[in-house]
Amino acid sequence: LYFSPQEGILFFYHIKGLQYEIEICADILQPISSLIFSPDYTVLLLVTDQGTVYTYKPAHSGEAVKLLDACSSCFLAADFLTPGNKYCVSVTISGEVQVWFLEDGTCLSKLNLDIEVHVT
C-alpha cells in the first residue's frame, strides 16, 4: 500500500497478516494530491498540489523524479495512456490537455479546451 500524507512524503506499507512495516520511499517537499499507478504497476505518478508531476519506480527504490513542472498553469490531474506506460496525459486548471512522453518529459501534443477545469 502506498500512501502520502500532506507533507509530501511517499510511504510504503508492507502488510503481511496482522503485521506491517512502514518505509519512506520519497520526500518531494510538496503536498501530493494524487497517486496513479501505471497499468503494469511499474511506475507511480505523483501529482502535487502545486501542479508538479513526479515519477517513482517502486522496483528501483530510488527517488521520485520530477517529470513535469507547472508553467503558466498548474496541472490539475494526470494519468497514464493505455496500453503501456510510456505516455501520460495531463490537464491544467486553464483547460489545456497535454500528452507527455514519460522517458524524458517531452510534450508530444496539446489541446486547449478553452474552459477552466475544476475537480468535483
Name residue 117's beta-bridge partners.
none
- Integer Cα distance of 120 and 102 in angstroms: 27
Does the domain formed by 2-112 have CATH 3.40.109.10? no
Domain boundary assignment for the chain:
2-112
- For the stretch 59-90, pLDDT in tens is 877 788 888 775 545 777 888 888 878 898 88
Residues of the chain with pLDDT under 70: 6, 70-73, 120
Give residue 71's pLDDT. Answer: 55
- Residue 95 is predicted with a pLDDT of 87
Nearest to 113 by CA among 89, 98, 96: 96
Can you give the pTM of this predicted structure?
0.71
35 within 8 A of 41, measured Cβ to Cβ: no
